[in-house]
Chain A
Amino acid sequence: MTKVNSLSELKARRESLQSRNKIRETRDHNQSVVQVKVAMATCGIASGARDVMNFFSDELEKRRIEALVTQTGCMGYCYAEPTIEVHVPGDEPVVFGYVDIQKADEIIERYIRRQEQVDGIIPVGYRTIDNEED
């Protein structure tokens, strides 16, 4: 792995990583993919997030949906673990709570594949430092 030797190298790396992420999120771009983030903090794992994550990885591949499944930290909705965030290119990311295998299956088939409304979406109740003026 190459070292980051200066401020400009850090900036360059950050920009290339950010543009990679942008491309993934853009609908109709040939590299765009569905992104599924599974909250894999201790609380999530304790509620079964690992099984859910494995299910998404395996099933999305089996069902030939191009997707990127990654883990992330705690989203803060401890009462609704396991929680996941699904980002379909071109749409706003959505957070689902109480995701078990059955729910995961429903999310893949109905929300990801057919863009239908699925119950269990947790409204995002916070601002981040990027959009704090909202």
Chain B
Amino acid sequence: MTTTTDASLELPRPRKARATGLWRLWSSAQVRLGVTMLVGITILVIIAPFLAPHDMAAPVGRPYAPPSPEAWLGTDNLGRDVLSRVMSGGIYLAWMAPASALIAVSLGAAIALIAAYYGGWTDLILMRCMDVLLAFPGILLTLLCVSIFGPAPPLLVTLVVLTLMPGVARVIRGAALPLLRQEYVLWAKTVGTPGRVIITRELLPNVSSPLLVELGLRLSWSVAILSSMSFIGYGIQPPAADWGLMVAENGNGLGIQPYAVLAPILMIVLYTIGGALIAEGSARIIARTEGEA
């Protein structure tokens, strides 16, 4: 009598590389500061309608009036309260920037991992598509699409995603390729684990560190791109309050009422710095962790 034994069952499962937990990232002062800034700004824009001294759309004085007890930061080009508009002006960024970054990173990572794992034609086709998107100027794509379909927020998010996704895919594919030679991946392949399972259970957790860095980085990029779209008139449309739009609307009054421009710029800078701090802090923690490993 012969006994057949599945040899793979006898192989010891290799130890996986240690993934950096979120708690470890939180130990970074930079990450904590960045998260605090983003959360603080998000809370501010959410509760702005209850805290703002005036209706953000209603004129409270003459155009470009200087700061006064009635309007602490003066008025804008239509005589609206700058403070109230600054407080409300991040409401679009508060959801569009994180949504854009999250979707871009998710899709970019998915494409990168599929391309890296399956290789061959799959890799070639997917990454060439990413290269085409990467090579196509984002601003042209924006002008084209917004001119045709109008500046609806979902479209703007889609455009930002298309702009950011190829870069994410490039980075994550680069991070995933060395993992394919790791023992635990080879073991999973040997025992016949389906590709999608290997991608989600073996590869994805081990690229989570660069993914988190990408997320913070792309969040900053999203803020910059969305604000730029509003600034050039292809983003959020008047009379909505939006920081980028405020800069564009009040740019000509910079000489006589600078607060109408500087206040929204400050908010964009703070939001961008928040994202950048998270990315920078995450990168440092990951580097330190990999050094320890």
Do A and B truly interact? Answer: no
